[in-house]
Amino acid sequence: MNREKFAWTVSVLLVAVLAFEVPQGLSAQRDNDYAFVRTLMDIDRQVVNNYVEPVDNSKLETGAINGLLGQLDPFTIYVPPSKQEEFDNTLEGSFKGVGIQLNQRDDGKVQVVTPIDGSPAFKAGIEAGDIIEKVNGDSIEGLRLEDVMKKVKGAIGTPVTLTVLHENSPTMVDLTMTRQEVIVPTVKGYSRNPDNSWDYFATDDPKIGYIRLTQFTPDSFENMKQVLTQMLSSGMKGLVMDLRWNPGGRLDEAEKIVNLFIDHGVIVSTEGRNRPKEVKTATAAGTLPYFPMVVLINEGSASASEIVAGSLKDNRRALIVGTRSYGKGSVQELIPLDGNGGELKLTVAYYYLPSGRLVHRKKDATDWGVDPQIDVPMDEATEKAVADQRYEQESMLRPTPKLTTKPTTRSAAATTSPTTQPVVDTQLKTGVDSLRSFIIFQGNHGDFTAMAIPKTKATTKPATQPAG
């Protein structure tokens, strides 16, 4: 980035940030702002020309921008042009490639974790557990995973041939596929069927559905609605929505998902210093028939996940199980910078739940995020084991038995072969057991949350509960 372009980028950044800080019409303040930019450029020039050692000017420029934004919250960031496409793809849940998740084993072999449903790799016959030996005829032995991924990626429409070794097969095979834009699925089920499709039921009697939403992307609402409609037609009696380890994403998708379950009332509101209060309310159109529902959360549930969980809790539509959520309740706007200067992701407002609770965790705060009505803590080791097990099950590396109605009589520590015993997901089990009890004794009638809350350990204060 040359000096003139750097000055322009800093100026635009400064104007974008201060547009939310300075009232309109204060021209003297604007003059001071631009005077700051001139001073910054003078410092840059003196350092580049006269510092005792040669300097990397690009590092100075990046440091200056990060220093400016570093005085704000950690969610306000500058995205340079070189990282813009990758950043945008992360937000949209898509990327360009063949659609495989890779892992490098301890022995250096690059293994396929899973092909993404419907991707070029999936259609070409790539399977979970495959070992990649060559890319376009070139051996990848000794390469780092990052370098292998660079070889696999490429321009849309171009072919790539992967030489792989299937599990339990002594012969390598060449599989050719064409690179394209791949959409990462965010709506996942309880386990995989033999044909790699999802089984969305955690139990068959009664039929309790399970959906894990990994991120809120532009197609999350439509995909979830389609799955829920299918499960209802298959006789679903209750639902567990798993939002654990979901970092958030599109707020508009979160609002539409909440509206699937409530036909009136406040979904969420946003308000900032330079942003008027905006209240999102539910409508009856498109709302699904009533069924009892549990939402799982933990400290990895953030942003849009907290909006869904908190709104369903405050509207008495779902029982929340797990541990307190992360507390990331700020609204960011993505501002394109002039002159191909990249993007500024700037915090402009906060989320507020229907009860008025601020989701965001501020410094020294004692209340933040969403508290579960049934608190089911996990230690760090167990939580990691549950996450790893779920990942393997979703990748078809391990079968997933249905949750049983029989009580657990033996702990993992008591077994003589702990490596073969599945880890008990106590949060999921608690959610399913709560639903099962309600369905057996109440059917699909009555207020599920009203029945369950008095009999469990409530972690929120009574004042935070909605009045009606």
Residues identified as active-site: 303, 314, 328
Nearest C-alpha neighbor of 252 from the set 296, 218, 222: 218
Report angle CA 459, 463, 464 to the nearest 5 degrees: 60
d(CA 28, CA 35): 11
Who's near 33: CB < 8 A, 6+ residues apart? 14, 15, 18
Q: How many Cβ atoms sit within 10 Å of the Cβ of residue 64? A: 17
d(CA 318, CA 322): 13
d(CA 439, CA 443): 4
Angle, in degrees to the nearest 10, between helices 251-259 and 220-233 = 20
User: Hey, what are 75's tokens?
Assistant: 């969610």
Who's near 181: CB < 8 A, 6+ residues apart? 94, 95, 96, 156
Q: Is 216 exposed, middle or buried (0-12, 13-18, 19+ CB in 10 A)?
A: buried
Who's near 26: CB < 8 A, 6+ residues apart? none
Do the beta carbons of residue 15 and residue 32 sit within 8 Å? no
User: Hey, what are 46's tokens?
Assistant: 């003196």
* Bridge partners, residue 416, by sequence: none
d(CA 415, CA 345): 50
Check residue 254 and give left, alpha or beta (phi > 0: left; psi -120 to 50: alpha).
alpha
d(CA 340, CA 305): 32
d(CA 296, CA 321): 5
Q: How many CA atoms lie within 13 A of 65 on its CB side?
A: 27
Nearest C-alpha neighbor of 125 from the set 99, 150, 143: 99
3-class secondary structure, 426:
helix
d(CA 331, CA 454): 34
